[in-house]
Chain A
């Protein structure tokens, strides 16, 4: 079974750093893009960026460029989303999703999400 398993909920203070993870299984991790989607409380989905674990090629939404870092460790089939200095406005649910991008472009497998709460 193809799965993406995300790390657990986080509660942090403004200014702290954070790295959350997403572990893929049941498929060839290095041959699909994997990306991150933010959902702020009561709001819609926002695409943040993706990484191709095979060669670490990374693309960001202009809205998130410079605000977060996406990385991957293909040896353990895990992608990461990282902040160096959190803000209260980073409070949200973060989903990882496998991106299919051949003839069709869509996200076919999703993690259950990681809740990040940033509060003083």
Chain B
């Protein structure tokens, strides 16, 4: 089973700053099989990025994804107040797995 490790565990930033979240896989993952989700307290997760770099419907362009192989990145170019949340990466190999999450909190 492929293990996804996200870093950092917590990112403390101010609104307007740039956020860079990392997702590292224990073995190579097809870019087509890598997605990112946002979860706010008390809410279900929401799809942000699929195929490593394609934004889901309705997702603002300040969110971008990149990477290949074992290293993937989610970037939020300028943090808005509503972006403070937990972010998860997900992959499909022989099974579906999630990373442990990165919390983006207000500094």
Contacts and interface: CB of A to CB of B under 8 A. Distances in A.
Interface of A: 35, 37, 44-47, 50, 59, 61-62, 95, 97, 99-101, 103-108, 110-113
B101 A105 contact: no
B68 to A, nearest CB: 15
Q: Which of B33, B39, B45, B46: most chain A Cβ within 10 A?
A: B45
Interface in B15-61: 32-33, 35, 37, 39, 44-47, 50-51, 54, 56
A110 B45 contact: yes
Given A45-B98, A108-B56, A103 B92 contact: no
A33 to B, nearest CB: 10
Q: Which of B32, B46, B88, B96: most chain A Cβ within 10 A?
A: B96
Nearest to B31: A104
Nearest to A33: B96
A37 B96 CA distance: 10
9 contacts: A44-B100, A47-B96, A61-B96, A95-B44, A95-B45, A106-B47, A106-B90, A107-B90, A108-B50
